[in-house]
Structures are given as structure tokens and as C-alpha cells.
Amino acid sequence: MGKKLLILDVDAGVDDAQAMILAFAAPNVEILGISCTQGNISIENVCRNVLRVLKLCNRMEIPVYRGSATSLLGVANYDTAYHGQDGMGDVPDPDAPGLEHIQSEHAVNAMIRIANEHSGQVSLVALAPLTNIALAAKMDPSFPTKLKSLYIMGGNMEAKGNMNVCSEFNFYTDVEAASIVLSHFTCPTYIATWEYCLRHVLSWDFYDKLMNQDSEKAQFLKKIFEHSVKFSRSDEGSKQLYFRSGFLSCDSYAMAAVIDDSMVTESIQYGVTVEMNGSLTRGMMVVDTLDALKLKHKAVIFLKCDMEKYKQLLTNALE
């Protein structure tokens, strides 16, 4: 079988960096392009951070495209408490590649072009607010039908929030974009929700073992995650109960499923949408378990992960 063709859409904070390293190490995938959008950090820092990871992994041949600088409504919500001011744990690299390596083509145009060039063959992996992807669907209404599949890290299924009271960061950061994507895309859609990640938190013992491997990639991740780990173990971070139990790097759960679909051992399939207006629930993903909304397209929502396979994938990628 041929390699899986991927477009990655990222808001490169530290968890995106780990997910990209997983993808670069996977022998069964080919990355046709990386599109950048604001989210964890500003668009300029996202672009810089992607280039840093490409250089680390000797993959500078992969084209990187600059995308949306704000949400569809012109808002920018950054997560500097967890990711640092630069999105990479505030660990500067004086030798990092400059923005001159970013392609001149806009990310949304590149997505549409790549999907047209490889119609029905490309999987889009969305690890960020869905702004670029919503814009692509609006610019070219046929775009959603030309993808092989769409993988999303975002949303929630039990109203557990990490941003608003009941909403997950990626969906909350651009609610309108999430609504467009969930309603417009008809290709097979797979969602790694916030709760899916929470159910599979890695122990701090495993984290230490993973990051203490004698490799350049492990040393890089250990450095950029130090800020996040410190926050997780701080008084502020420990108020969020999921940080108390271990290490959580959400984007890697979605990427692992793309690389090896046997990683997901249990899932459900329902129509999904997003709450647009609630004062406490804006951005919350709505799972239509009663089929009350009669949504024609059903998304696959991950429930359980093979943790031994997952840990082995993480370990192998950093060797």
C-alpha cells in the first residue's frame, strides 16, 4: 500500500511539536504541506515554531504556509500560560530558521490546491482552531468532498471545559469556524475530543522515561515542555485536576490515530454540532445521541486508546 498523504493544520505550541515529530517519524505517511493558524500563539510564532521542528527532524523540504492570524470574527486567544510567550516554552534557538522559509502561497489556497491535485487521497489533520479549514470550505465548496478524511483534535463530549466552562480550547477559539466545519464536511470525520485525551493521561514516570532518552528530539521536547510541566505542577495548574495525574499532550492522540488506526480500540458515531450562543456553553460540542437534529453526516468520536501501542509510538518517534 502507498503512504498516507497528509496536510497538517497546526497552531504550533508544544503539543503540536510533539505531534509533528510523531508524523515525521512514521514511515507510512507523507506530509504534503503544513498550514499554520493562530491559536496557542500568534501566527508569526506558529510559523517559526513549525520551522524549528522541521529543522530538528531534517524535514525542511516540507512546505509551510502562513494562514489565519485571527478567528473568523477577528479575535485572537493565546494560551501562553501553558505554552509560553513564544509557544515553545520560551526556549529560544538563535539558529532557528527564519520566516523567509515560509511559502508565499496562503495556507487556505495551498489546502485547496493540494486537495485538487490529489483528489480523494489526502487526509487533513486539524490540530488547531478550525479557521483555515472553514475558510477553505467557504472559498471552494467542493473542498470538503475532495478530502479522503478529516481528523480533528478538538471539541468535547461530556461538557468538560478547559477554556470556557463547557468548551474545549480549539473549538472555543473559533466557534464559528468549528460550526462551519462540522456542518460542511461530508468526508469521513474523526474526532479526538478533550475527554478522550483526559482518559489517557500518561504517568509522570513514563514522561520522565520518554524525555530522558538519549536523542536530540527527546532533549528538544524535554526543554520546550519544561514550562508546561512547571505550570501543570504549579498551584494554578493543579486547580485543573487533569494536570495532577500526569502528562497530557493532546495533539499526539489525534496524530497517533492517523498513523495507526488500530490505536483507537473503541469509538462511537453520531452527528455533531457546536453551541454558538450559550453564555456558559458557547463552543461546546454537541453530540446528537438522540438523532434529534437529523444530521446526515456522522462523525466518529474516539473513546478508548491502546495505551501500550501509544506509548511505544511515542518512544520510537524520539529514538
- DSSP string over 59-126: -TTS-EEE--SS-TTS-----HHHH-TTSSTT---TTPPPGGGSBSS-HHHHHHHHHHHTTTTEEEEE
Per-residue pLDDT reduced to its tens digit, 192-215: 999 999 999 999 899 999 999 999
Is residue 310 over pLDDT 90?
A: yes
Is residue 155 over pLDDT 60?
A: yes
Is residue 233 over pLDDT 80?
A: no
Polymer length of the chain? 319
Of 199, 196, 198, 221, residue with least CA distance to 208: 221
DSSP category for residue 202: B
Confidence category of residue 244, pLDDT binned at 50, 70, 90: low
Of 182, 166, 71, residue with least CA distance to 128: 71
Q: Which of 11, 15, 79, 140 is catalytic?
A: 11
Helices (H), 239-303: 241-245, 250-259
How far apart, in whole angstroms, are the C-alpha atoms of residue 299 and residue 256? 18
Is residue 239 over pLDDT 90?
A: no
**Residue 174 designated active-site:** no
Number of domains into which the chain is organized: 1
Domain around 171 = 4-317
pLDDT score recorded for residue 134: 98
Least confident of 72-76, 148-152, 267-271: 72-76
CA distances from 173 to 155, 254, 269 (A): 11, 18, 25
Residue 201 has a CB neighbour count (10 Å cut-off) of 17
Please answer whether residues 250 and 152 qualify as being in contact, where contact means their C-beta atoms are separated by less than 8 angstroms. no
How far apart, in whole angstroms, are the C-alpha atoms of residue 318 and residue 31? 18
Q: Which residues contact 14 (CB under 8 A, 6 or more apart)?
A: 82, 83, 84, 87, 88, 89, 221, 224, 225, 227, 228, 249
CATH number at residue 103: 3.90.245.10
Please answer whether residues 78 and 40 qualify as being in contact, where contact means their C-beta atoms are separated by less than 8 angstroms. yes
Q: Report the share of the chain in percent with pLDDT over 70.
A: 96
Is residue 238 over pLDDT 70?
A: no
How far apart, in whole angstroms, are the C-alpha atoms of residue 258 and residue 123? 9
Confidence category of residue 240, pLDDT binned at 50, 70, 90: low
pLDDT score recorded for residue 87: 84
What is 170-185 written as a DSSP string? HHHHTHHHHHHHHHH-
Per-residue pLDDT reduced to its tens digit, 17-74: 999 999 999 999 999 999 999 988 999 999 999 999 999 999 999 999 999 999 999 9
pLDDT score recorded for residue 235: 57
What global pTM score does this model have? 0.95
Instruction: Calculate the average pLDDT of the chain.
Output: 92
Per-residue pLDDT reduced to its tens digit, 98-125: 999 999 999 999 999 999 999 999 999 9
